[in-house]
Amino acid sequence: MDTIQIELADQGLAFEAPDARKKLGLITLSTDLTTEFDFARLMPFDDVGIYGTRVPFANPTTPANLRAMTPTLTAAADLILPDIALDAICYSCTAASVVIGDAEVAAAINRARPGVPVVTPSGSALLGFAAMGIKRISVLTPYLVETSRPMADYFQRHGLEVVRFACFGLDDDRKMARVTHDSIIKAALAIDDPRSEAFFLSCTALPAIGTIAEIEARSGKPVITSNQASAWALMRHAGLGHKPQDYGKLFDYDLPGQIRN
């Protein structure tokens, strides 16, 4: 066999600028079936890249199991494009962010990536409600009651009045990812209330972004979901004003000042 001669191309080699596209980090649970799929529908991929890793998680989704992820966050953040600047990093678990604490999540990630804005679904929801001037909400989760309780306390602690709160009573995030749109819409509308100004549909596993337009149309009220809020906060931290169609009024707003625990 003849040896093929390999030529060195010398026509002039050029590179894009390192910041030609925004770079967003994503930490998901090992069992997550939903976040990447939702982000693919929400993000303008001509302008941004999502670079992800996963952390170990074992169901059931109890507060103790969720809190057990805390020690894994620093190493996970360190795996995302080492030595390359990121515009923001998202830890994609709402219930864990609540039981661990947004500030503790941010501190763990910033130990590996100092100075990078850290996005959580729970903190992003707070920022979304603040941006829209919302004070009273109805909340739907797929969780057990014991996992839902810290979330109710979280919103109240941050100055929101929880008018109605319902949960599906599920303990496995893989099952949460299979809940139908019709089930989510019916359950959300069932907790609508004249006193409530908006809805929060919790859980990054729950396939809720496809229900936003219908719930907003039928209720006349804004809907914030975990993955929608996280994507919004990530893009706004990166200076992107992208407004995906049919995914809620939230994208009409800019990011307000950071809210901390």
CB-based contact 30:57 (threshold 8 Å):
yes
Global pTM value: 0.94
Q: What pLDDT score was predicted for residue 261? A: 44
Gap between the Cα atoms of 184 and 138, Å rounded: 13
Start-end ranges of CATH 3.40.50.12500 in the chain? 22-120+229-244, 123-226
Task: Say which residue the tokens 């359950």 belong to.
Answer: 187
Tell which residue, 150, 251, 256, 140, has the closest CA to residue 196: 140
- CATH code, residues 123-226: 3.40.50.12500
Q: What is the mean pLDDT of residues 202-214?
A: 98
Average model confidence (pLDDT) across the chain: 96
**129 is written with which tokens?**
């409600």
pLDDT interval class at 11 (50, 70, 90):
confident
Residues 6+ apart with CB under 8 A from 51: 23, 24, 25, 26, 80, 81, 86
For residue 144, the 8-state DSSP code is: -
**194 is written with which tokens?**
């004249």
Assess whether pLDDT exceeds 70 at residue 71.
yes
Tell which residue, 226, 230, 223, has the closest CA to residue 249: 223
Specify the amino acid at residue 137. I
Q: What is the mean pLDDT of residues 25-49?
A: 96
Fold (CATH) for 22-120+229-244 = Rossmann fold (3.40.50)
